[in-house]
Amino acid sequence: ETVTLTLENGGQAQATLTELGLKAKNLERIIRDAVDYGKTGDPVDCYKILKKSEKNENHKTFPVEYEVTAEQVKTVAQERLAGQLKSPVNARLTQENGATVVVEDELGEAVDVEGTVANLNSLVGGEWDKKGGEVSVKLTDLTADITAETLSGITDVLGTYSTYYGYSSEGRTKTVESGANHIGGTLVEPGQEVSANDLMAPYTEENGYAMAPSYENGEVVDSMGGGICQVSTTLYNALIRAEVEIVERYAHSMLVSYVEPSMDAAIATDLKDLKFRNNKEEPVYIEAVLSDGNITFNIYGKETRPEGRTIEFVSETVEKIESDETRYVATNDSIGTMYTSSSGRSGLVAQLWKIVYENGEEVSRDTINYSQYRASGKTVSVGSASDNEAETEKMRTAVSTQDETKIKAAIQEILAAREAAETEPENAGKGRHV
């Protein structure tokens, strides 16, 4: 039998009584009483009961009442009414006209399981006709995880940083904005350690990400979530300016364009992560702002650093690395085509300095990370497209050797064979007559 669960706003969901955990109340006791009837108690009474039953003159009813199971009602109601209930909205911090503003939290709705079970038991208890029906779902307020009261004491901007992503492709733009929104709104308690990868993962379409270029084994390839490292890099720079403890940080395999060397923080699932710990005595709150192609992270907390103390971060190149390697790649250009598609990238070793000033005077200078970036040689594109599969296979085999002499020899052999095939019909029948 089906029961319709109805909300005050008219929303509805249906469930069977089996799904709601319908069961007979005190069934074992009722069965025991029925089995024992006429067999226990005063012997004279038992004799009379049994004698009457032999003549079919004695009928005894043991009423059965029904009830639903609270745990199953909770599960079903939450699953089927979830989309119709108002979710709580966390309080947040933001900047308006140069000042920090606390945006109030909003209450949500949750199923009042105890009240809803009571309504269901009113339907199935007592004189029940064994049919379904309609039952009102009781609701209760659901408090947001982050309230305005929680944020009221941590409204100082401890660190902020922005990078530009407006040049990005549609897929990369989607990834950067999705990653920022996954991190924005995070409240980190004192002593709590956080993984940026955990906040943003999984990198799937369902979670808001798209295919875009990224680094993999020193090459640029399309991957799901390409561009996510710009999010972690921007966050890293905001965190170090807030002087939040960095637990784990990795450089990219090659240089990136949106920050200076040693200012980046790469993300690679199960390999590289940005982890940080709140080393403050108060919580810190992370705000993400997306505006005009810029991603900005603001780190809020309670400022305890002395007035007049400022910090600066300076990237220094320690060593520059060049590569004379040439990489050949097969393309869909026609056979005979060869051109330099990339002149390569320089690599280098860099370090990031943290410089502390007090009232404009430098008081300390420390290296907070060393980073090494791989150099990449030039890339030469080699055409391998042909209607003749054997020719294409020959070119791809030659390219796989990464030997320029063999690649050029394969091109010459294919072109020579084509020329010979074209001239052969013209010479047919031109043999010497004897």
Give the Cα separation of 247 and 191 in Å (integer).
Answer: 12
C-beta separation of 216 from 225 below 8 A: no
Mean pLDDT in residue range 243-261: 95
Q: Which long-range contacts (CB under 8 A, 24 or more apart) does 79-86 make?
A: 80/5, 80/13, 80/14, 80/15, 81/5, 81/7, 81/11, 81/13, 81/111, 81/137, 84/7, 84/9, 84/11, 84/13, 85/7, 85/109, 85/110, 85/111, 85/139
SS3 178: helix
Residue 176: both structure tokens together: 């950067």
Report the share of the chain in percent with pLDDT over 90: 75
Of 354, 360, 352, 353, the C-alpha closest to 309 is 360
pLDDT at 428: 57
Residue 431 confidence (pLDDT) above 60: no
Of the pLDDT bands very low, low, confident and very high (cuts 50, 70, 90), residue 426 is low
- End-to-end Cα, the chain, rounded Å: 104
Q: Per-residue pLDDT tens for 392-414?
A: 999 999 999 999 999 999 999 99
pLDDT at 223: 81
Q: Which pTM value belongs to this model? A: 0.77
Question: pLDDT: is 253 or 433 the higher one?
Answer: 253
Separation in Å, CA 20 to CA 23, 138, 383: 9, 15, 66
Of 77, 87, 86, the C-alpha closest to 6 is 77
Beta strands in 304-358 (DSSP E): 309-321, 326-334, 338-342, 347-358
Separation in Å, CA 193 to CA 152, 189, 276, 284, 288: 22, 9, 6, 12, 19
Question: pLDDT: is 49 or 139 the higher one?
Answer: 139
List 24's β-bridge partners, or say none. 66
Of the pLDDT bands very low, low, confident and very high (cuts 50, 70, 90), residue 284 is very high
Backbone angles phi and psi of 302, in degrees to 5: -110, 115
Residue 215 confidence (pLDDT) above 80: no
C-beta separation of 203 from 123 below 8 A: no
CB atoms within 10 A of CB 198: 10
Q: Cis peptide leading into 202, omega within 30 of 0? A: yes
CB atoms within 10 A of CB 207: 14
Give the Cα separation of 20 and 76 in Å (integer).
Answer: 7
Average pLDDT, the chain: 92
Of the pLDDT bands very low, low, confident and very high (cuts 50, 70, 90), residue 425 is low
Q: Cα 5 vs. chain centroid, distance in angstroms?
A: 33
Give the Cα separation of 238 and 31 in Å (integer).
Answer: 70
Of the pLDDT bands very low, low, confident and very high (cuts 50, 70, 90), residue 219 is low
Mean pLDDT in residue range 280-296: 97
Mean pLDDT in residue range 267-285: 95
Of the pLDDT bands very low, low, confident and very high (cuts 50, 70, 90), residue 57 is confident
SS3 22: coil
pLDDT at 359: 95
Sequence-separated (6 or more) residues with CB below 8 Å from residue 403: none
* CA diameter of the chain: 141
Span of 45-49, 108-112, 312-316, 364-368 with lowest mean pLDDT: 45-49
Of the pLDDT bands very low, low, confident and very high (cuts 50, 70, 90), residue 220 is low
pLDDT at 218: 59
Residue 209: both structure tokens together: 């990400």
